[in-house]
Amino acid sequence: MQQNNGLDKNQLISFALFSLILIGAMFYFQNKQAQEQELLDAQNKTQTTQSAVQNTTKPALATNLNDSVKTTSIQQVQLKNKELTVGISTLGGQITTVQLNEYKAYNKNTDKNDKDLLIFDKNNSSYGFQFKDKTGKTFNTKDLVFTPIQNGNSVTMQANANGAVIQFIYTLLDKYTVDFNVKTQGLSRLVADSKADFVWDFSARQMEKGRSQEQTHTEFNYSFNNYKSFDYDGRTTMEEPDETLNWLAVKQQFFSAVIEPQHGFKNSKGSQEMIDEGEFLKKFNFNGQVDLVGNELNQNFKWYFMPLDLPLLKSYNKNFDELLPLGWSFIGSLNRWFFIPMYNLISSWGLAAGWVIFLMTIIVKIILSPVMFKQHKLSAMMKVIRPEIDEVNAKFKDADPMKKQQEIMAIYRKAGVNQMAGCLPALLQIPIFYALFRFFPNMIDLRGKSFWFAKDLTAYDDVIKLPFHVPFLGDHLSIFAIACTIVILIYTVMTSGNIQQPQQEGMPNMKVLMYIFPITFLFFLNSSASGLSWYYFVSNAINILIILVIKYWILDEKKIHAQIQANKQKEPKKEGKFQKRMREMMEKAQEQQKMQQQQQPGKKK
């Protein structure tokens, strides 16, 4: 499928006039529906009889199905409810337009979400059932011209293929659902295979501000094993030859198109191709087999065009909630059972989304306060014993590094300082960071919510626009990302004094690396959700306040120093299992190093 670059102004005017003519024709023909149906049934019976006679001499062939198609014969029937507006074309009997009525898409010209949100439109989707006839040739329903018969929010599309009758019955339901019932009669005289292919070509349209972020979240998703298992594929191809897919979705950042076959897709395969620029993000192609019973296709399908709202997804009871990429295992549980309920609770107080995030940050800090206090207390104690560490470094400057490290560990042990205690807060921050990295760009309740510089907390703020493109940074600077980088840098400066510098030649300066780390955050956050930058700005600002409070109001360095000196006079504490294991490993490594030196040529034994 070729990329569609959209319609120009003249084409839009022509299309609008043509649509008005079609709508008038629909009202005119609606009064004759009953008569047309009776006439159509009579024709079908005649054609079926003729086909039966012909089949006694030679097999029926499905050839030249589209020779008689004229542009003027193509119509579009519209179904509409509160949630969806669906347009169905008589060419292929397929859904060609899908609009989510309660949502808007991002408009680059206005920098707002004020465009109609169209999942299908401008021929970006094409699907149909592909059959193989008795001569080995294939034909596809998307090439047939169907006749529509509408009854309220249901329409029957009917076509003839060399005497076979094919019906697509669409019914617009609640909860973003379109029932798609497929019926055939006489198809068994045409086809020789007991299977048909469902072929879907789809180009995903950009609907959000952050193109790269939305591209990352645009991918194949599917369920199998009776809706119990789930998988996704964001790479170039997908292959599922052994599983029967219960549903197949093309998922974007906040919305998804899902096709669900009654009896599943078999031998499924698909491909996806990135689109670098323009209206669309990715091209998708999917091919899945459906079984024919008696060489006839009579099966119910369902289309879902839905927002990725967690309560809605759960309500289907079809494993659709996996479409929301909240993270695997513990990360996903942290989002589902902690961050999302907390956000929903605080936002129910009527606060702006930015202040909801602010309160969420404070709550997380309060929960982590015991371990954070221990970390900052350890930092203060490390500062007190820094002179003694420096003395050991100077004393063993030219000695064996292992010996020097053993002496330093002895000082820690005598002072009652447990270095590993500082690792716990860092380890706790890792799952929280990754959970929030998943939470902010995928929380639909935050979509379109503005706060200060950001017009949408699920996308970046670009108040500062650059006249050129910077690699890995883009053509803008996010104020929230800059602010977050600054506070992380300040926090690093305040805590880097306790970092022990390596004494070996060729080893990198750890302080320099610590200062470079915050700068990398700017590149990471500049095109990420501004809600994430705002959260980490608040979080690190609170860290700075905690350090200042501990330093000036809670911990007394003189008392800590006195406590350390008292610990030295006491009988050394019994080594813990970890400390003992570390000491034994270092001693073993030291012995191996000595043996290697003795075995080298020219060394005295």
Full DSSP string of 356-382: HHHHHHHHHHHHHHHHHHHHHHHHHHH
CA distance 74 to 138: 23
Last residue of a domain, one of 288, 307, 325: 325
Are 348 and 280 contained in the same domain? no
> Which token pair is 81?
């409810």
| Environment class of 46 (CB within 10 Å of its CB; exposed 0-12, middle 13-18, buried 19+) | exposed
Domain region containing 215: 9-325
Last residue of a domain, one of 325, 355, 387: 325
pLDDT at 589: 64
pLDDT at 427: 75
User: What is the tally of structural domains in the chain?
Assistant: 2
CATH number at residue 194: 2.70.98
pLDDT at 8: 39
pLDDT at 519: 81
| Environment class of 237 (CB within 10 Å of its CB; exposed 0-12, middle 13-18, buried 19+) | exposed
If one counts every other C-beta atom within 10 angstroms of the C-beta of residue 393, the result is 16
Q: What is the DSSP letter of 191?
A: B
pLDDT along the chain (605 residues), means of 10: 37 41 40 41 41 35 42 82 95 95 92 93 93 86 93 93 92 96 92 91 93 90 94 86 95 96 95 91 95 92 96 94 88 90 92 93 86 72 73 71 71 68 69 87 90 88 84 83 88 67 50 72 84 90 82 69 66 57 64 66 50
CA distance 39 to 66: 22
Provide the whole-model pTM: 0.75
Are 193 and 241 contained in the same domain? yes
Is residue 107 in some structural domain?
yes
For tokens 């005598």, name the residue.
414
Are 355 and 481 contained in the same domain? yes
In one-letter notation, the amino acid at residue 546 is I
Are 290 and 400 contained in the same domain? no
Q: Is 282 helix (H, G, I), strand (E, B) or coil?
A: strand
pLDDT at 27: 39
pLDDT at 373: 73
CA distance 554 to 269: 63
pLDDT at 399: 64
Are 487 and 388 contained in the same domain? yes
CB 270 within 8 A of CB 284: yes
CA distance 421 to 426: 10
Is residue 25 in some structural domain?
yes
Helix-then-strand count for the chain, H and E: 15, 21
Task: Quote the radius of gyration of the chain (alpha carbons, Å).
Answer: 33
Are 319 and 340 contained in the same domain? no
Is residue 131 in some structural domain?
yes
pLDDT at 170: 97
pLDDT at 89: 95
- What separation in angstroms does the CA of 270 have from each of 221, 240, 451? 11, 9, 40
CB 246 within 8 A of CB 198: no
Are 411 and 502 contained in the same domain? yes
Is residue 28 in some structural domain?
yes
CA distance 95 to 92: 9
| DSSP-assigned beta bridge partners for residue 91 | 145
Report helix angle 423-442 to 353-384, nearest 10: 160
CA distance 379 to 406: 21
Are 450 and 368 contained in the same domain? yes
How much helix, strand and coil, in percent to the nearest 5, is found in the chain?
A: 45, 25, 30
Is residue 593 in some structural domain?
no
Cα dihedral 16, 21, 24, 30 sign: negative
pLDDT at 513: 67
Is residue 109 in some structural domain?
yes
Last residue of a domain, one of 325, 357, 381: 325
pLDDT at 494: 78
Is residue 184 in some structural domain?
yes
- The conformational region for residue 67 under phi > 0 = left, psi -120 to 50 = alpha, else beta, is alpha
